Chains A and B, each alone.
Chain A
Amino acid sequence: MSIRYRLMLRIIIVSILIVGGGALFAYEDVKHEARELFDAQLARSARLLLSMVQTYNETVDFPSLQTRLNENQLILDTPGQLEEGEELESGHVYETKLAFQIWGNNNDLLLRSISAPIQPITVQKNGYSYQTINGQQWRVFSLPSKDKRYLCLTAERLDVRNDLIGKISSDLFILFVVLIPVLSIIMWFALGQGLQPLQKLASQIHRRGAEKLDSVSERNAPSEISTIANAINKLLARLKEALDREKRITSDAAHELKTPLAAVRLHAELAQKATNKNDRIESINQVINGIDRTTHLVEQLLTLARLEPESLNLNFETLNLKQITIEETALLTPLAFKKNIDLSVSANDDIFVKAEDVSLRLLIRNILDNAISYTQAGGEVKLTLSSINNRICLSIEDNGPGIPPDDRKRVFERFYRGQNHETQGCGIGLSIVTRIVELYNATLEMNEPETGTGLIVTVCIPVV
């Protein structure tokens, strides 16, 4: 359901409640006020009549007055007009719905309007009452004179006031019936207008291709939309960053693969052209060597790609760092043996860390592999595990040539291989290390040993 429909529904319901409630209240109020007004009129008429009668007290000739009154009564041309309730030249049809009686103290009817019956309209001697006469509801006011000689009754048929109330309430109902649809139509367009920024944002995003990741416009947008636009822009920025990184890695990798491929091709070509067996064998050996190196490069690149945040699914578990360090060291021992490097691990107790197995092993393996590779034959590589202030530190120390402080930042760059050419590496190992260090919120430091040359790489993982 669209926001527009949802809002419309709510607005219509609320409008019906408010307008309907208002109309009901107005209706009740009008009914009440009309009744009071009519009641007041009844009382005022009674008072006037009574006063007149009292003024002329003994001299009033009631029978002739009654005759005059009868003579002056409203003549209706057609009975139908009675129901119309319209103004006439000679009076108003409502006159027939108004009545009065003046009674003497001997229960004698002194005067009455033509519309009034001969019997008393009410037996009540004082105040307001309701009466039913000939099937018609009347509102009656009884006012006795102070000396009790006269009793004046004024009456009004209820349908007169009900007519008025009905008229007002029907007006209110028409207003209600007309107002709600009109309001709805206006609201429908107003909502459309109001939701336009959302439409604009949607069409902005809709028109985009997969390659267009620059931010959407937040200009002139209302605050709700700019919040959404802002969130979208942040997402787009993250996406762009990931895509750029992907592109860079792909391009770097392609470039980096070209050199070993060139070497493989060259050696293969030389083997093809070789004029003697020794040359050919040497070239073919180099082809194999080149393929191994290329394979290693591809493996390292894949490892790095797997460590990218988009493809990462780390399963943290409690691992025995001492155990893993020993296992990884054992794996690289043959390499150290070949170069006659003295390899040792020193750790006192088992140390447990919350980590992911594969990446933790990669971290140790890559640093250790570097240390062994860059240390000259007959050198020494020492691994030390320690636990300091909520941090678990692994330091790998070698007595190789070390890295000049100025170069220490550069070694973490992808494909940087340093100045040592005897070592065949692809320059990705430390990029992998950096990535894992970031993953674990760990720190990595490079220092010189206190005596002699070499390098100490220390990785400290915070204990969660």
Chain B
Amino acid sequence: MRILLVEDDPLLGEGICSGLRRDNHAVDWSRTGEEALLAINHSSHDVVILDIGLPGINGLEVLHLARKNGYETPVLILTAQDAHADRIIGLDTGADDYLTKPFEFGELCARMRALVRRTRGFTTQQIQHKNIVIDPAAHSVHIDDKPVDLSRREFSLLEELISKKGQVLSRHYLEEKLYGWGDEIESNAIEVYIHHLRKKFGSDLIKTVRGVGYMVPKE
């Protein structure tokens, strides 16, 4: 998953970033409302973690502006403001979930997975395609109940392709999903990961659409 984190506290931001990265997510970190709006307008994320108390434009204003411009990515508000009124305002402004500080990191991850699952139209945690079962929470992939060893980016790529099966995904789109802002992208990285996946799951799984991108055909 590619996640946008909007948090002004350096220590907390750093913690969330490194935690999410250790869980194989790509994370972009904005420290102000202005930065967050730029990120929202120019990159695509699977989920946004948004703090309310930001210097400059606050989180609620960011959310309001984004939703007004038709921004559909699920947003999870992560804030110290725990009053019921604050929660109601947050959710009514367009947040999809609301978590208060201090929080458990595992819960934050589970809530984000739930949000992403909902936007992808799945109801169960595990994603199944033919004999392949992906468990995003456990970061595991099984073929016929046998575990397959995948690198962090291979996993993200497979998850992305299977959860959007039937759609052709461009190389640029996939790169965006796999890499955060600071990450260095090798020119043929996606081709390499596709090659690895085909070796592990068979060449039929992923189709190349020349000049457009890649897709996992529907069953």
**Chain A residues in 8 Å Cβ range of B31:** 421
What separation, in Å, do the CA atoms of A54 and B31 have in the docked complex?
A: 139
Task: Answer whether residue B18 sits at the interface, using C-beta atoms and an 8 A cutoff.
Answer: yes
A259 touches B12 (CB 8 A): yes
Q: Are A421 and B10 in contact (CB under 8 A)?
A: yes
Residue A255 interfacial (CB < 8 Å): yes
With an 8 Å Cβ cutoff, the count of chain B residues facing the other chain is 26
Residue of B15, B82, B106 near A263 (CB, 8 A) is B15
Q: Which of A259, A270, A293, A419 has the most CB of B within 10 A?
A: A259
In the assembled complex, the CB of B9 is this many whole angstroms from the nearest CB of chain A, namely 5
Q: Which residues of A contact B106 (CB under 8 A)?
A: 269
Does any Cβ of A come within 8 Å of B11's Cβ? yes
Candidates B8, B22, B100, B102; contact of A270 at CB < 8 Å? B22
Q: Which residue of A lies closest to B8 (CB)?
A: A421
Complex contacts, A290 vs chain B, CB 8 Å: 11
- Interface residue B156 (Cβ < 8 Å from any Cβ of A): no
How many Å from the CB of B119 to the closest CB on chain A? 25
**In the complex the two chains form, what is the Cα distance from A259 to B105 in whole Å?**
14
- For B12, the chain A residues whose CB sits under 8 A away are 259-260, 262-263, 266
User: Which residue in A258, A264, A289, A417 is a CB contact (below 8 Å) of B8?
Assistant: A417
A256-B80 in contact (CB<8A): yes
Given the complex, which residues of A lie within 8 Å of B56, measured CB to CB?
419
Distance between Cα atoms of A260 and B10 in the complex (Å): 10
A139 within 8 A of B: no
Query: CA separation between A274 and B19, bound complex, in Å?
Result: 9
A289-B11, A419-B56 known; A258 and B101 CB under 8 Å?
A: yes
CA distance A255 to B101 in the complex (A): 9
Q: Which residues of B contact A261 (CB under 8 A)?
A: 101-102
Interface assignment of A418: CB less than 8 Å from any CB of chain B: yes
Known: A286-B14, A286-B15. A262 touches B102 (CB 8 A): yes
Residues on the A chain within 8 Å of B14, using CB: 286
Question: Across the interface, do B55 and A262 meet the contact criterion of CB distance under 8 Å?
Answer: no
Residues of chain B within 8 A of A282, CB atoms compared? 18
Roughly how many angstroms separate A82 CA and B10 CA in the complex, as a whole number?
A: 122
Chain A residues within 8 Å of B, Cβ to Cβ: 255-256, 258-267, 269-270, 273-275, 279, 282-283, 286, 289-290, 293, 416-419, 421-422, 424
Show 15 residue pairs from A and B whose CB-CB distance is below 8 angstroms, ordered by the A residue. A255-B81, A259-B80, A260-B11, A262-B101, A262-B103, A264-B102, A266-B12, A266-B105, A267-B11, A270-B22, A283-B15, A283-B18, A290-B11, A421-B32, A422-B10
Q: Which 7 A-B pairs have the closest CB atoms?
A: A262-B101, A258-B80, A263-B12, A262-B102, A266-B15, A263-B11, A258-B101
Q: 18 more A-B contacts (CB under 8 A) besides A260-B9, A263-B11, A273-B105?
A: A255-B81, A258-B80, A262-B103, A263-B12, A265-B103, A265-B104, A266-B15, A266-B103, A266-B105, A269-B105, A270-B22, A273-B22, A279-B22, A419-B56, A421-B8, A421-B31, A421-B32, A424-B10
